[in-house]
A and B are shown apart, each in its own frame.
Chain A
Amino acid sequence: MGIDELKNTWKSAGESHRTSSELKLMTELKHNGRLKRIRRRLLIESMLVLAFLTLFYTGLDGADKPLWTIVTLILSGVVYIINRLSGYHTTQNIKPDTTVYQMSQDLIKQLERLSVSSGMSALFFGAAIILFMTIEIEFNTQKYTMLAGLIVSLFAFSFLSYNIWRKQISRLQQIIHQLSGDS
């Protein structure tokens, strides 16, 4: 296949079968399939966080715990949800009206901030849960073992939250390397 044939094939490729009304619908956020799925996932996550908070408060005699642990637990849950919403906002509000190189650089900066804040907010939320569960408990060997397990899970959870964005960052870094000839 020669270059002229490739050009002809490319120029004649593509479909134009969508009607104006179908295209108009695509400009509305509520009709965007991908964003709809992200919003649904966010809603489920938020409800799970809320359910966790309620469960911990009622199931673990929340009323008997020190007020500051309750406040910390609620605050950490709220921070976690806000961070997830901020992730949605960042991925939805990209700035594509620039060069590919510039867009990749700008997005990497935003995603790096997001990956750190995701890891931190997950760490804060997990630590608040552990604190709430363990405060005013008399520890024995078995309980110390359980605490160690919880702490390991907490770090794994924080790392996963941090890592969610790392794959996208590394993909954008590859684009920059490919464009600048470093690859």
Chain B
Amino acid sequence: MALVDEHQNIIHKVSRMYRNTIEDQEDLFQDIVLQLWKAYPNFRAESKISAWLYRIALNTAMAVFRQNKPSLEFNEELPELTSDNSLEAKSENEERLYTALHKLSLAERAIMALYLEDYSYAEIADIVGISENYVGVRINRVKSRLKKILT
């Protein structure tokens, strides 16, 4: 449980990336913790714990079906980017990033989250289940899409 506690920000990020409403995000957070608990006995110590956690979290987010509900907080317009270093600026940048991620497909979100977390192409390929070369192709496409969304 200490491992989950230590990495709970990953679970939070995945929940927010895959669900629109606070209630659905909370449900997904709980589901991911439950699946991590169930899967832990098979965790191989040689794996990177955060990579294993991402694998379980992303799979749970995609496997657990939830009818998409319109979000009250979801804005079609992206908030203005601010370069302040204040907490408010950080929060606005986060909001902007999540709004952009919500415009990607489910698979693209998974690849992008791992890329933004600085995982290597080999590690992303291992989590997602496609070839390393194809990870590179997908990342380039998603980066271009994100660039368009954010400009």
Contacts and interface: CB of A to CB of B under 8 A. Distances in A.
Interface of A: 1, 3, 5-7, 9-16, 18, 20, 23-24, 26-27, 29, 31-34, 91, 94, 96-104, 107, 167-168, 171-172, 174-175, 178-181, 183
Contact of B106 (A26, A99, A175): A175
B145 to A, nearest CB: 12
Contact of A101 (B81, B96, B128): B128
A12 to B, nearest CB: 7
A171 B65 contact: yes
A13 B27 contact: no
Nearest to A8: B93
Contacts of B65: 91, 167-168, 171
Interface residues of B, number: 61
A82 B131 CA distance: 40
Nearest to B39: A97
A34 B64 contact: yes
A1, A3, A180, A181 interface centre (most CB from chain B within 10 Å) = A1
B86 interface: no
Interface in B106-133: 106-108, 110, 113, 116-118, 126-130
B1 A24 contact: yes
A29 B34 contact: yes
Interface in B51-69: 52, 55-56, 58-60, 62-65, 67
A13 B143 contact: no
Contacts of A174: 105-106
A174 B58 CA distance: 15
Given A96-B39, A174-B106, A34 B9 contact: no
Given A96-B59, A100-B110, A100-B129, A15 B9 contact: yes
